[in-house]
Amino acid sequence: MKYAILSFLLLLSSLGSYGQNTATLTVPAKPDRTISRHIYGHFAEHLGRCIYGGFYVGENNTKIPNTAGVRNDVVDALKKLKIPNLRWPGGCFADTYHWKDGIGPKDQRPTIVNTWWGGVTENNSFGTHDFLNMCELLGTEPYLAGNMGSGAVQELADWVQYVNFGGVSPMSALRKKNGREQPWKVKYWGIGNEAWGCGGNMTAEYYANEYRKYATFVSDWNNSGGLTRIASGANSADYNWTETLMKVIPKNLIEGVALHHYSVINWDKKGPAVNFNEQQYFTTMKQALFMDELIQKHSAIMDKYDPEKKVALVVDEWGGWYEVEPGTNPGFLYQQNTMRDAMIAGSTLNIFNNHSDRVRMANLAQAINVLQAVILTDEEKMILTPTYHVMEMYNVHQDATYLPLTVKSTDYTLGEQKLTAVNGSASRDKNGVTHVSLVNIDPKKKQEISIDIDGATYKSVSGRVLASKSLQDHNTFAKPDLIKPTAFKGAKLKGKTLQVDLPPFSVVVLEMK
């Protein structure tokens, strides 16, 4: 009798800690959408130790193996991620940056004081050639952020000519003199950054008119197969900004509108990156999942002016933003990266995949040593963060055919507050392999999900999972592999149903053939 009661209680407790969810995966006969690989883009600003010490350690560094000053370990790690594009040189820094200061002999370059980030003096040793050559090394497309805030139209027009023109001109001659014969053919150009704030504190109307002028002179020099000009976009839910840009800027002058949204608890009290409590976790995830509503509402505005969806929504800054690590320069935005960040990354990328008809480019902020980084470095040491692993697991979706996955999720509750516990997305790659990515943000409950498959039959399922013992777990220089993906055994195919058991706060990517 005693044992019967005990087993009953055990059964009850296991039921209580399990969420039941359903979903439908549809495999259309004629799929009409691709998930652009550019959704998986990154961001490298002259901020703290992102460029100097992160990407670049200088050509004369004998301690850290490098190629033309760029760390070899970083190049190897980012190649494995298959990063499709890299945004540079900012951020707020971009609107203070004068590109001509970063070309020519390094010992003759003027210095620049980084007024936005720590007030440090930089020697401009990492400039246009260094960045664009590094992109070639990484096999990634550069996304240059032009200076509209404090730079002239001519300065931006010259930069485009310098990097993109193959013929005879003053700027191409200067490029050749500096050692680069062929143009780099840079396709992605940002026209200012956060023009509503650090980029010049402009009104939407004023910016939109300025944009028209700058965009006119950003020519493709008949060389790069058409440019993608990206307007500085809204701050989170500033829908009026998007509306004004779409109304005022003619469609022949714009290919992308940006959007910035950070998962921040409170701008005045951001909370720690590691020792956060469950309420702080909940609020961060609420902010991260808000991305879905933001995209829906900004897209609805864009649909009014651009029903054919020619203009892309480019979420060129996203990620978690917390207090800096104790003892580090507050202007350098260096923070650790835990399983909470894995939840942000997995959920946000699912949201982007599901809105890939309009969201065709995005940039995680930032790549190394800043905010939600994929890589952290300490002199010659380098570690990969949980966010890196999510990005790597999800790269199967790059340029794959989008497959609709609708999830009916239970709630993750904290007191009276609730959030959707499970989110997901799916795609089919060029080899016909289907990938399903699922996130359970609930820190306490496992989630069971039963997925009906409509339109295809699969024979096998396998997968990988990113999970850990505690939400606060993170990789350190002493324990670099505490969190890394492992084989996942919790998925079973039963005819047309895929049954998955998701551990608490986990990211799973399944492969079905």
Q: Where are the alpha helices (DSSP H) in 17-152?
A: 72-81, 128-138
Residue 366 vs 423, nearer CB to ligand AHR: 366
Residue 44 vs 75, nearer CB to ligand AHR: 44
Active-site pick, 45, 122, 317, 448: 317
238 membership: H or E segment, kind and range? none
Residues that bind ligand AHR (CB under 6 A): 45, 90-92, 193-194, 317, 365-366, 371
| Alpha-carbon 198 to chain mean position | 21
Tokens 């191409």 belong to which residue? Answer: 172
Report DSSP state, residue 94. G
CB of 131 to ligand AHR, least distance (A): 16
Residue 161 vs 232, nearer CB to ligand AHR: 232
Q: Which residue from 338, 324, 343 is spatially nearest to 286, judged by alpha carbons?
A: 343
Residue 263 vs 366, nearer CB to ligand AHR: 366
**Annotation marks residue 317 as catalytic:** yes
Residue 317 vs 473, nearer CB to ligand AHR: 317
37 membership: H or E segment, kind and range? none
Q: What does the alpha-carbon distance between residue 129 and residue 178 come to, in Å, rounded to a whole number?
A: 9
Q: Which residue from 259, 255, 318 is spatially nearest to 289, judged by alpha carbons?
A: 318
Q: What does the alpha-carbon distance between residue 245 and residue 234 come to, in Å, rounded to a whole number?
A: 10
Q: Which residues contact 236 (CB under 8 A, 6 or more apart)?
A: 259, 260, 261, 290, 294
Residue 189 vs 282, nearer CB to ligand AHR: 189
Residue 261 vs 435, nearer CB to ligand AHR: 261
Q: What does the alpha-carbon distance between residue 69 and residue 295 come to, in Å, rounded to a whole number?
A: 39
Q: What does the alpha-carbon distance between residue 445 and residue 217 come to, in Å, rounded to a whole number?
A: 55
Number of neighbouring beta carbons within 10 Å of residue 238: 17
Q: What does the alpha-carbon distance between residue 440 and residue 87 come to, in Å, rounded to a whole number?
A: 30
Residue 268 vs 416, nearer CB to ligand AHR: 268
Residue 93 vs 458, nearer CB to ligand AHR: 93
434 membership: H or E segment, kind and range? strand 434-440
CB of 288 to ligand AHR, least distance (A): 16
Report DSSP state, residue 34. B
Judged on CB neighbours under 10 Å (0-12, 13-18, 19+), 427 is buried
The tokens for 282 are 């909940």
Q: What does the alpha-carbon distance between residue 282 and residue 291 come to, in Å, rounded to a whole number?
A: 15
Active-site pick, 194, 210, 392, 511: 194
Residue 332 vs 505, nearer CB to ligand AHR: 332
Tokens 């800027």 belong to which residue? Answer: 249
CB of 292 to ligand AHR, least distance (A): 21
CB of 260 to ligand AHR, least distance (A): 6
The tokens for 471 are 């939400």
CB of 90 to ligand AHR, least distance (A): 5
Q: Is the CB of residue 386 less than 8 Å from the CB of residue 466? A: yes
CB of 304 to ligand AHR, least distance (A): 27
Number of neighbouring beta carbons within 10 Å of residue 196: 19
CB of 321 to ligand AHR, least distance (A): 8
Tokens 């990211």 belong to which residue? Answer: 507
Q: Is the CB of residue 509 less than 8 Å from the CB of residue 393? A: yes
CB of 182 to ligand AHR, least distance (A): 31
Type of residue found at 411: D
Q: Is the CB of residue 375 less than 8 Å from the CB of residue 384? A: yes
**Annotation marks residue 448 as catalytic:** no
Q: Which residue is nearest to ligand AHR (CB)?
A: 91
386 membership: H or E segment, kind and range? helix 386-394
CB of 439 to ligand AHR, least distance (A): 23
CB of 45 to ligand AHR, least distance (A): 5
Length of the chain: 513
**Residues catalogued as catalytic:** 194, 317
